[in-house]
């Protein structure tokens, strides 16, 4: 994983079930393109889109996701929901976060064992609902949206009506450096900083997609509960104070003003068996939070 990587255009990748992958040197956003191609009926389930750089990369609530060229991983995968109830679809991002975090934690431990890792930075961990951090610095973001796949023209498939799927975009700070994010004024790190050496992005992405495809199969069979238990073992924030931001429409421009946000401060009690958050507010009330941002 720490070996030199091939040129981006020579990467060998595949989506779920051997579905095609498409590589783009420069693109506005893999997530935007995936939605466009799905809406036009131009793409099949399991397809993987990968960019070397994005000019309009976005995270949750239209926040900018900086995408320096030749350093990181930006991809989108189209996850069919056959065998997964629509009500359980939001849990897929939590499965993804834990699956990816376990890969990153293994990389960190390998680097530490070889004497290269940055032992002062803390451990790779997960933060509800689907962020991946090292210490309190975020380096992987996940954005998911429900879409409906149209049957492809002249395709050898039994699909005759639009089927639901999750379009999941992922941005991972792999080999970027602090100077790449100095303008953001918030804590950001990268796998290079965590592991003390460059990561082969092609091999890393192959592993992430393969592990995630297997995880989706397990999720179909067993539901979210096994993932919740694994999440609790990796989570470092249960019991800590935090702020839940509900109905958050904050963007980069108004994130500090809190415009469009309803905030409650308190203590993180636990993660429930369905993946929701159990939160004790400062007024003593206990809330089950299904969808929100969590600030630590």
pLDDT at 200: 97
**What does the chain come to in residues?**
296
Longest dimension (CA), the chain: 60
pLDDT at 154: 53
pLDDT at 179: 72
In a domain, 2, yes or no: no
Consecutive 10-residue runs of the chain (296 residues): their mean pLDDT? 93 96 94 92 94 74 62 95 93 96 96 90 92 90 91 59 92 86 73 95 97 97 92 92 75 52 89 94 94 86
Task: Mark whether 210 and 255 lie in a shared domain.
Answer: no
For the chain, how many structural domains are there in total? 2
In a domain, 1, yes or no: no
In a domain, 16, yes or no: yes
Containing structural domain, residue 111? 8-233
In a domain, 280, yes or no: yes
Please check whether residue 43 is in contact with residue 37, taking contact to mean a CB–CB distance below 8 angstroms. Answer: yes
Joined tokens for residue 225? 């509960």
Q: Rounded distance, CA 246 to CA 244, Å?
A: 6
Stated pTM of the model? 0.89
Task: Mark whether 284 and 183 lie in a shared domain.
Answer: no
Domain CATH number, residue 94: 3.30.930.10
In a domain, 3, yes or no: no
Joined tokens for residue 131? 């962020």
User: Could you give the 3-state DSSP secondary structure of residue 22?
Assistant: strand
């Amino acid at each position: 994983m720490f070996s030199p990587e091939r040129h981006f255009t020579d990467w060998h990748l595949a989506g779920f079930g051997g579905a095609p992958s498409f590589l783009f040197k420069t693109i506005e956003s893999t997530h935007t393109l995936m939605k466009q191609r799905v809406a036009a009926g131009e793409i099949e389930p399991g397809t993987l889109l990968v960019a070397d750089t994005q000019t309009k990369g976005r995270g949750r609530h239209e926040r900018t996701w900086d995408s320096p060229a030749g350093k990181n991983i930006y991809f989108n995968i189209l996850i069919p929901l056959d065998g997964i109830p629509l009500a359980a679809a939001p849990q897929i991002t939590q499965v993804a976060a834990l699956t990816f975090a376990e890969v990153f934690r293994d990389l960190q431990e390998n680097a530490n064992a070889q004497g290269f890792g940055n032992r002062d930075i803390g451990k790779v961990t997960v933060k509800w609902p689907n962020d991946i951090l090292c210490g309190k610095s975020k380096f992987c973001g996940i954005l998911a949206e429900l879409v409906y796949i149209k049957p492809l023209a002249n395709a050898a498939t039994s699909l005759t009506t639009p089927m639901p799927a999750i379009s999941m975009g992922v941005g991972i700070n792999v080999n970027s450096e602090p100077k790449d994010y100095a303008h953001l004024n918030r804590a950001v790190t990268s796998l290079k900083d965590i592991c003390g050496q460059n990561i082969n992005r092609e091999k890393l992405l192959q592993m992430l997609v393969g592990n995630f495809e297997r995880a989706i199969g397990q999720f179909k069979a067993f539901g979210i509960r096994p993932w919740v238990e694994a999440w609790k073992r990796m989570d470092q924030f249960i019991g800590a104070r935090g702020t839940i931001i509900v109905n958050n429409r904050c963007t980069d421009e108004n994130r500090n003003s809190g415009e469009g946000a309803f905030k409650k401060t308190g203590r993180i009690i636990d993660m429930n068996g369905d993946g929701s958050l159990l939160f004790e507010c400062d007024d003593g009330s206990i809330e089950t939070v299904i969808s929100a941002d969590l600030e630590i």
